[in-house]
Amino acid sequence: MPGEDWTDVLDSMPAPRGRTWGGNVFIAASVDGFIARADGDMDWLTAYSAEAGETGYDDLMSRTDHVLIGRRTYETVLTFDSWPYEGKGVLVLSTTLPASGEPGGDERISVVRSIPEAVAHLNAVGAAQVYIDGGQVVQASLAAGLVEYLVITRIPILLGEGIALFGPLPADIELYTISSGQIGDGLIRESYAIVR
């Protein structure tokens, strides 16, 4: 295991001002910063593997009570054999999906129409540890200052183009490096806390 276990830090941190919860991003990206090819393909990623214990994903999910994802991630998750968020509150950010109570709505999720609505919802239910996933949602959450921990698993490949992990920000975001090290098939796990 590389360095100290970053998830140990999670429980000891107070919630950020104005929120009951902290936002955590745990995502894989190519060395040149893409989370998928332009068409959403992730086969280049699944060719690599690491022990779940090494990545820290299982540990993070066991501490996660709420998930905030985008519509595209939600639709990808729907193709999985089983619902991976059992027992957690799931917010899907979408302007088009029907709400939970509406015809065609999915009762397992809460549809939110905007980042501020997601924040208000998570505060109202007293969320504690929120896992944030999906390209646009991660970018929007970083830009809105809603991310406390950022864990990147670098896949040793350059894709040249695709869906970027990072996007524009209103200002620099300073990071504190918690740990870094090689895991599995040459993957590098970098974990950072956002400095405020």
Q: What are the structure tokens assigned to 26, written together?
A: 């745990």
Q: Is 33 in the site for its own copies (CB under 8 A)?
A: yes
Among 81, 86, 107, 161, binds its own copies (CB under 8 A): 161
| CA nearest to 157, candidates 18, 23, 42, 12 | 42
Nearer to its own copies, 27 or 99 (CB): 27
> What CA–CA distance (Å, rounded) separates 52 from 59?
9
> Looking at beta carbons only, is 43 or 107 nearer to its own copies?
43
SS3 129: strand
Residues in the chain: 196
Binders of its own copies in range 62-91 (CB under 8 A): none
Q: Decide: helix, strand or coil at residue 36.
A: strand
What is the closest distance, in whole angstroms, from the C-beta atom of residue 17 to its own copies in the complex?
Answer: 20
Taking the complex as a whole, the smallest distance from the CB of residue 169 to its own copies amounts, in Å, to: 3
Should residue 32 be labelled a site residue for its own copies when binding is judged by CB under 8 A?
A: yes
Give the N- to C-terminal CA distance of the chain in Å, as an integer. 28
- Contact flag: residue 166 with its own copies (CB under 8 A): yes
CB atoms within 10 A of CB 172: 6
For residue 193, the cross-strand partners are: 149, 176
How far apart CA 113 and CA 118 sit, in angstroms, is 8
The interface region with its own copies, picked from 73-81, 94-102, 113-121, 184-192 by CB under 8 A, is 184-192
Is 35 one of the binding residues for its own copies (CB under 8 A)? no
Is residue 44 within the footprint of its own copies (CB under 8 A)?
A: yes
Interacting residues toward its own copies by CB under 8 A? 2-3, 31-33, 44, 142-143, 150, 152, 154, 156-161, 165-177, 179-182, 186-188, 190, 192
